[in-house]
A and B are shown apart, each in its own frame.
Chain A
Amino acid sequence: MTDFLVLDGITKRFGNLVANDQISLRIQKQHVHALLGENGAGKSTLMKILYGVYKPDAGTITLDGKLLNIHSPQASRAAGIGMVFQSFMLIPAFTVIENIALSLRDVGIVVDEKKIEHDIREISDKYRFGIEPRAKVWQLPLGAQQKIEIIKLVMAGARLLIFDEPTSVLAPHEVEGLFDIFNRLRLDGYTIIFISHKLNEVLACSDEITVLRGGRVVGSVVRADATESLLVSMIVGDKTADSSTYARKSIPANVEPVLQVRDLCAKDDRNRPALENISLHILPGEILGVAGVSGNGQKELGEVIQGVRPALSGSIKLAGQEIIHTSIAQIRRTGVTCVPEDPLRQGAVPVMSVEENLALSDASSTQQRDWQRMNWSAARSRASWFTEKFGLKMPRLNVAIEALSGGNVQRIVFARELSAPAKLLLAYYPTRGLDIHAAEIVRLALLDYRDQGAAILLISEDLDELFAISDRIMVMYHGQNVGERLPAEADVQQIGYLMTDGKYTPEQEVEHVAS
């Protein structure tokens, strides 16, 4: 076997963040090579470098023995590298032929539809895609659209195919079909890079697996040597659950939960099930940490609780009161506040100043009538209060939010949402984009808020953070609550299994111990 693709010392920085740190990787010809890692591990950045979307700060790429100078996606395609993105680049109103003709570089002014149709049929028959070239794309299911993307790449002469989380759009039975296609492509001489964070899928289809963590390569293992437990420990690292840092208050028995969710179901933006009969509760003065690979319903859970997304069935009780089918404003007034997933888009107005953004949490209040003057001093005090109490610096009040860094937007939104007492706080990735010192302050502020009696739903990608400040950890997988653990007693490996597989069985335990 020969090295088909060699990445050597690839480094990419975004400001202070090192997304890829000295990544070196060898990929063999005709292999399915899986890239595995948590969100933010650097997989996508690395693939975007390979595809010419980003230019690396350092490092070289060698394909088939030739040193490549990839400065654009065009250059990458010309070198024989093709990528299937998570969102497909297809025009729904066009036929399959028309979509593929658009991607071909050597079509003339008059499109030879006959020839393209013939080529599509040939490839479709060879790999058993079952694609009808004259069908309109909008009529086809997502699985078929993915196959069109593959046909595009094959017809454009790509030899290395990159799949960015291809299974995220597929139904379970389609996943196996995709792996069959991988296999047939491989036998035909294609090399495949498969990005995923699902263990079972990676083990089912790949020849070799490379794990990334924190922008670095943890290691590569061939399929024969790979076990679930080995991969889990590579993904999550040698974390020892440290739950002793912060003082925890014991919660008196028999208190009524602040939030009581029962059998809640909801759909995601693509109309697929996102929450499947999830049940959970949070007591006053308790932080419930949610562990899980993102995209397993965390986003939808918070949105349904806030009233932003409709629930299909189930019940959500806030302090004993049913809040499904009430308005967003009413739910806010009942005492739900949120540090959203994407503060700039969901919790701030970019063209407005910091001061004006600090007033946004007043918008649903009924203490003042709409024709009355804005209470700007109350808005300003939200930032100064936070700075005085916790010593976290805030940006100047007259700067527009769009001129601020992500971390500064996060500070503003965080301070604003925590400035008034609420029954329930939904905190999405509260420390994302913050430096170590600011992140520490934010954690302390969360604990302080909890100690004042609020219930907190903490969604984080950082397992260390979840273990450090949660009173209880719940794992979400496929829109379900697949297990709860107390941080003091939980094992990071167990959580890792639950996150990536949805279950933790005795066999896995044996394997885990044996390794």
Chain B
Amino acid sequence: METANSPSFPMLATWQARTANIPQPVRRLLGFAGAFALALILFSVVLLALGKDPIAAYEQIYLGALADDYGRSEVIVKMIPFILCALAVAIPAQVGLVNVGGEGQIYIGALFASVVALAFGDLPAPILIPLLVVAGMIGGGLWAGIVGILKAYISLNETICSLLLSYIANLIVEYVIHGPLKDPGGSNWAYSARFSDNAILPMFGDTRISLGIIFALVAVGVYFWVLNYTRWGYKMRVIGGNAEAARRSGIQIKQYIIMTMIIGGAMAGLAGMVEVTAIQERLRGGISNGYGYIGFLVAWIALQRPVGILLIAAILGIISVGGDWLQIGVNLPASTVNILMAFILFFILRNQGMQKKEA
């Protein structure tokens, strides 16, 4: 007990003593910025090792993502799935669950939406689009709900279960686009027929920003409200904070496990629906681009907080859009930026660990 408080590193101790009178929120922000800076520096080292100029690479990211209207609008396009998939992780995380199955929930949401879009393509858009939203959410919710039920009733590990279900979801979509929903007109391509125009989400101006951004913002708003103001959010936080105290207070933990998984999955399902109805305009394989995993990064870097999710989704959106330009500018594969994202998560988590120790 005593040894836990006594500093084992003298340098750390003096540092702690010096920073002790800086207010907590400022300290947190500084720590956050520091972690970010460290990630950028370490990524520079990686770039140097690859024989590339880091300054040029960062400049390329800036030019690609922020310098013009097109780049900026593309950042917002990326933010839609990032935000929704972050919510898919953050909502179950409030009761202590680790949902890494966002990928699978996206695919099943996209599949459900696609089936509705193809079957009821004749319906007018004002009726069809709400139906698509509901279908996408039901698909994702169902896929995550399986995990919730298994967790609640037979204590199956939700992390592994949600991860493995993602592979199954991916293969189901592959089967469907090679079989039942294969486009009859599309020679031999493995994708569905193009959706009717009524099923395509409206866009803002001539950008690719769809109505999906409204869904994402509304979802974050509702999440913020429920979490901080309602009894529902309160009970979720109690379960996440101390499940034993929650149980003894009469909170129905099993219900909350299942419900938060379903709602989280519905968010990822909604992301899948937006992806097929706004970007792809048909169901095909590989639609997710790892959004489920990036959503996980967003949620954890943001500590599952609503405003943080918006902010981090924007930052990772910039990195992601800018990354696509690395190929052209400095001749690096676009996926190189995944290394940068991983460094950011790593340093942020390490920073959180240190702040916990201080407290």
Contact = CB atoms under 8 A, between A and B. Distances in A.
Interface of A: 55, 306, 308, 327-333, 338, 340, 345-352, 356, 359-364, 368-374, 402-403
B241 A351 contact: yes
B238 A363 contact: yes
Interface in B14-64: none
B353 interface: no
B176 to A, nearest CB: 36
Interface string B221-248: 0000010011110110110011011111
Contact of A360 (B244, B249, B359): B249
A332 B246 CA distance: 13
A182 B117 CA distance: 79
B232 A306 contact: no
A380 to B, nearest CB: 14
B251 interface: yes
Contacts of B251: 329, 363-364
Contacts of B280: none
B231 A346 contact: no
A374 B241 contact: no
* 4 tightest A-B CB contacts, nearest first: A364-B250, A329-B250, A349-B241, A363-B249
Given A361-B249, A362-B231, A370-B231, A346 B244 contact: yes
A369 B232 CA distance: 9
Contacts of B2: 55
B245 A347 contact: yes
Nearest to B237: A352
26 contacts: A308-B247, A327-B250, A330-B250, A346-B244, A348-B242, A348-B245, A349-B237, A349-B242, A352-B237, A352-B241, A360-B245, A360-B249, A361-B249, A363-B250, A364-B251, A368-B231, A369-B231, A370-B232, A370-B235, A371-B226, A371-B230, A372-B230, A373-B230, A374-B230, A374-B234, A403-B359
A349 B240 CA distance: 9
Contacts, number: 82
A345 B247 CA distance: 11
Contact of B238 (A55, A332, A338, A352): A352
A89 to B, nearest CB: 19
A371 B226 CA distance: 7
Contacts of B232: 370-371
A356 B238 CA distance: 9
B229 A363 contact: no
Contact of B247 (A328, A333, A370, A371): A328
Interface of B: 2, 226, 229-232, 234-235, 237-238, 241-242, 244-252, 359
Given A345-B242, A345-B244, A363 B235 contact: yes
Contacts of B230: 370-374
Q: Which secondary structure dominates where chain B touches chain A?
A: helix
A373 B242 CA distance: 21
B177 to A, nearest CB: 39
B280 to A, nearest CB: 35
A511 to B, nearest CB: 43
B246 A350 contact: no
A361 B246 CA distance: 10
B248 A306 contact: yes
A362 B2 CA distance: 37
A364 B234 contact: no
B244 A350 contact: no
Q: Which of A327, A329, A402 has the most C-beta atoms of chain B within 10 angstroms of its own C-beta?
A: A329
A248 to B, nearest CB: 31
B107 to A, nearest CB: 30
A51 to B, nearest CB: 15
Contacts of A371: 226, 230-232
Contact of B234 (A340, A351, A359, A402): A359
Contact of A374 (B229, B245, B248): B229
A328 B229 contact: no
A3 B65 CA distance: 80
A370 B249 CA distance: 15
Contacts of B248: 306, 308, 328, 338, 340, 346-347
Contacts of B229: 373-374
A333 B245 CA distance: 16
A347 B247 CA distance: 10
A55 B247 CA distance: 38
A415 to B, nearest CB: 16
Contacts of A55: 2
Nearest to A362: B231
Nearest to A368: B231
A364 B231 contact: no
A203 B178 CA distance: 81
Contacts of A308: 247-248
A372 B231 contact: yes
A60 B223 CA distance: 60
B247 A349 contact: no
A337 to B, nearest CB: 10
Nearest to A332: B250
A435 to B, nearest CB: 21
Nearest to B231: A370
Given A371-B231, A373-B230, A350 B250 contact: no
A403 B238 CA distance: 17
A61 B113 CA distance: 75
A329 B252 CA distance: 8
A359 B231 CA distance: 10
Contacts of A348: 242, 245
A284 to B, nearest CB: 23
Q: Which of B234, B235, B246, B250 has the most C-beta atoms of chain A within 10 angstroms of its own C-beta?
A: B250
